[in-house]
Structure 1
């Protein structure tokens, strides 16, 4: 019996050795991809590729991608490759090439290369992840939602949320405690998106632990295991589908599915019509035109509606709250800039009978410069992706990007490039005066991406950020509290910039 057991153990050990040997050969072959194309690349390690393994990560992946960009620029590399697990990634430091990828030759790079598995996880089938024909049809349908006319219509809702923000701060300021400003602005943005997207009154300031806030906090933080699962699904999609791996917390999926289904049922049962994003989706769902086919992005199933509402929520509340928080952080450190912003706010509002309106907000050019500079230093998406859908030769080179290869656009790396921005670590809104913007090299500033897949909700995000900042700055002086740990350190597990320990500010009534 002991001999049989020993033989089994020996056979298992031998099998493991063989499997490891095969995997090593597989990765060595995969890691020869860029060398065979004579493209400079970042050395990989088996099995993680060129990036830091998830369990050893001490900085966000966006910062690591920016560092790869900086190192490549120092070496004089215009084009380079690296690996995530076994997957080859192309990156360029040349803005002309970037223009081709994002705009000029967009048809070669329509997709983002993000995994959509609508059968297993329907909520991933939203406009941000989708590619091809379905993405085009949805984009065409959604674009009118963000016209000037629709923005004006939604402005009253946003302004009302600004009033609630002011009232909350006035109430809390009497306790003389510092404010976790990101948390407060998260409440503000959640109320806006809840109303504009779902037609729901969320009242985050009176109920900061409402389900929308709780779910919002869960979405953007991944554990090392979650990051590993994302890497696995991204690089081995067939394995991900076979194992039916899900990227989102099931509780998040269940919550948003229930909210959308219940709201749609209520509206249809009671014949309720609203001028909001959900109503657009309901109209698409009920589109009975025989030429429309389920799954084409022209008419929607209830699961597809859930997916679009989900991405509208996460893109609308978190990115704007983050931008406003970093803007106030910088203004708390640069009191001269804060004073200049407040003077503009006071001057413009006096012209409009002290009313925060769509027109008065639009006139605040220096405030927009502050937001633009904030987005340069702290882009909500430090990098974005594209996937080659048709073999592509990089103009002026013999480099061929094969179909299926992903491209990383290092937004934060570009935004901190000294070739385009003198003293990039310095916060300077004057970089974005009308005159200086004309001097800025095209594609050197892309916080919302660029080209046909540029962020569809950019104008909405800027508008609500302006309202939030005006609501605070016209009433309160902002200063930095010593609870804020400097220099700022960003959470390694977060997909967007989040500060360890939070951003704590003092607010003083003017």
Structure 2
């Protein structure tokens, strides 16, 4: 019996070795520069061992091959073509978008095949594929027009007042505080209020379940990684689906899902409208057309038009919407990703801004001058939506924070059909996976002089005109760019305007000289947190 069991184990190991290693050597045979693969992790064992954050890995890879248009790596056993060329990034994300509609290949999307909670993540916008994605994106894009954002502005200001009250308490104690602990609460409360008409009041509730659940979604433990990678083994995802076994933060997913479903049910029963994202999504589904042509994401930026025009134009796509009925799961999945993704990215970005203002008081003062003028021209009150959107240095500071501290280090794209990369003799085959190095490009001195320094002038009108618009990838590019970009930028602008009107950020001795990313953080946040001190302005 032991002999048979031993033979079975050896057979399974040999089969697993073959399955992972069968594509090793692809890039070498094609003569494409690459990082060779090793069993079982491929090119980077740190992905499994969590010794280094993914953003650091992709940044180092880019630096090794930045003179090349592309190079190859192995993600476990999957060959991945990493794109460095800004022109090729434009071709993939915009010009030939229909050849690269999907973010993930069949293997990566297969990781979401599991129990009911995992299926919700599969139905979110970042995971949907082909016409399913186009139908949902076409239906929900009108939620984020400037007109709809105006209606959210009052909610953001209300939560912003709570943020300044919290920071006033911090200023009185004159003690260092963790930035994301504060800004994460602002971000989550803003999203919960604007999306669901729910007020978690995170600043008063120190043990807030909303905050804890959202934070857990963006932490990947070693156990989380092993469960996820197990689904690359053929047959495992089918077993998980049969057993209704979910692996992607099922407890937290269930928590948010129940809140969203309860909100939808309450609105339908009572007819109450809050004009929040839930209501707008329900309206979009009710207003679905039958097979009409729609051009999505029309340019509606009435402020900083010169900054965003190219980006907004590239987001447009024409799609023939099929006659179909979306079920409640689509609203739940879309709400879920907006809530948890928006919480972490905006909270992180605001935290990095607070940190950089403390390090760079001259930048802080210049921005305060711009903000003060806007307040003074409005009788000392918070400026209106149009004015806030039109503050150029505020916009530049936020974009610079997103560049220097890139939340997502790379963007994946999967090929829909065989395609020859323009200007090369290389053919990308169907289901091949490409990686676009956002963090590498953001730290390339050819595009951003002194790239390790915080310099908002990198996003002045003159600086932007001197380089390709495809050198900024924090929101993605093309039709598959972040649907919540307008919301996130407005939210950040409201927070910074209200805070800098009253406070100065000061540096903290709690921060190390050299910041280090936390390897278990899904997005690129700092190990042991990011600290600041704050004082009331004179």
TM-score normalised per structure 2: 0.88
Q: Residue 77 in 1 paired to residue 68 in 2?
A: yes
Q: Residue 41 in 1 paired to residue 34 in 2?
A: yes
Which residue of structure 2 aligns with residue 210 of structure 1?
208
Tell me the C-alpha RMSD between the 2 structures: 2.2
Change (3 A) 1:174 1:47: same
d(CA) in 2 for partners of 1:230 and 1:352?
52
Change (3 A) 1:119 1:284: farther
Larger Rg: 1
Change (3 A) 1:237 1:137: farther
Cα distance, 1:284 vs structure 2? 4.9
Whether the aligned pair in 1 keeps the contact of 2:21 and 2:77 (CA below 8 Å) is: no
d(CA) in 2 for partners of 1:394 and 1:319?
32
Which residue of structure 2 aligns with residue 374 of structure 1?
401
d(CA) in 2 for partners of 1:23 and 1:489?
35
d(CA) in 2 for partners of 1:237 and 1:423?
46
d(CA) in 2 for partners of 1:19 and 1:263?
48
1:420-469 residue CA offsets vs partner (Å, 9 max, x unmatched): 12211111111111111100223111211101101111111111111111
1:44-88 residue CA offsets vs partner (Å, 9 max, x unmatched): 111111122445322211220121111112xx4322111111111
Q: 2:172 aligns with which of 174, 180, 183?
A: 174
Q: 1:16 aligns with which of 9, 22, 32?
A: 9
Q: 1:240 aligns with which of 223, 232, 237?
A: 237
Change (3 A) 1:299 1:43: same
d(CA) in 1 for partners of 2:466 and 2:27?
35
Cα distance, 1:405 vs structure 2? 1.4
Change (3 A) 1:262 1:14: closer
d(CA) in 1 for partners of 2:19 and 2:143?
48
Task: In structure 1, list runs of 5 or more residues that go unmatched.
Answer: 1-7
d(CA) in 2 for partners of 1:251 and 1:51?
30
Whether the aligned pair in 2 keeps the contact of 1:220 and 1:496 (CA below 8 Å) is: yes
1:246-281 residue CA offsets vs partner (Å, 9 max, x unmatched): 342221121112101211121111111221210123
Change (3 A) 1:409 1:297: farther
Q: 2:359 aligns with which of 321, 324, 333?
A: 333
d(CA) in 2 for partners of 1:372 and 1:284?
30
Q: 1:32 aligns with which of 25, 32, 41?
A: 25
Name the stretch that deviates more: 48-57 or 148-157: 48-57
d(CA) in 2 for partners of 1:269 and 1:154?
24
d(CA) in 1 for partners of 2:330 and 2:234?
21
Change (3 A) 1:297 1:164: farther
Matches within 5 A, 1:339-354: 339-354=365-380
1:373-411 residue CA offsets vs partner (Å, 9 max, x unmatched): 111101221111111111111112221111111111110
Cα distance, 1:153 vs structure 2? 1.1
d(CA) in 1 for partners of 2:87 and 2:273?
47
d(CA) in 1 for partners of 2:170 and 2:353?
21
d(CA) in 2 for partners of 1:503 and 1:352?
34
Which residue of structure 2 aligns with residue 261 of structure 1?
261
Which residue of structure 1 aligns with residue 381 of structure 2?
355
Change (3 A) 1:191 1:15: closer
Whether the aligned pair in 2 keeps the contact of 1:54 and 1:228 (CA below 8 Å) is: no
Change (3 A) 1:211 1:18: closer
1:167-198 residue CA offsets vs partner (Å, 9 max, x unmatched): 22223432222221111111111111011111
Change (3 A) 1:183 1:98: same
d(CA) in 2 for partners of 1:36 and 1:250?
42
Which residue of structure 2 aligns with residue 252 of structure 1?
252
Task: In structure 2, list runs of 5 or more residues that go unmatched.
Answer: 293-320
Which residue of structure 1 aligns with residue 307 of structure 2?
none
1:264-303 residue CA offsets vs partner (Å, 9 max, x unmatched): 12111111122121012333555698889xx979532222
Which residue of structure 1 aligns with residue 199 of structure 2?
201
Q: 2:77 aligns with which of 86, 90, 96?
A: 86
Cα distance, 1:119 vs structure 2? 6.3
1:5-56 residue CA offsets vs partner (Å, 9 max, x unmatched): xxx3334334433443444444443213323433222111111111224453
Whether the aligned pair in 2 keeps the contact of 1:65 and 1:413 (CA below 8 Å) is: yes
Cα distance, 1:127 vs structure 2? 1.0
d(CA) in 1 for partners of 2:290 and 2:467?
49
Q: 1:389 aligns with which of 408, 416, 430?
A: 416
Which residue of structure 2 aligns with residue 123 of structure 1?
120
1:220-243 residue CA offsets vs partner (Å, 9 max, x unmatched): 00101212333343x457532333
TM-score normalised per structure 1: 0.92
Whether the aligned pair in 1 keeps the contact of 2:260 and 2:332 (CA below 8 Å) is: yes
Q: Residue 97 in 1 paired to residue 88 in 2?
A: yes
Which residue of structure 1 aligns with residue 300 of structure 2?
none
Whether the aligned pair in 1 keeps the contact of 2:25 and 2:36 (CA below 8 Å) is: no
d(CA) in 2 for partners of 1:382 and 1:442?
17
* Number of residue pairs aligned between Structure 1 and Structure 2: 498
1:292-342 residue CA offsets vs partner (Å, 9 max, x unmatched): 9xx979532222221111011012221111111101111100111111111
Cα distance, 1:92 vs structure 2? 1.5
Name the stretch that deviates more: 9-18 or 381-390: 9-18
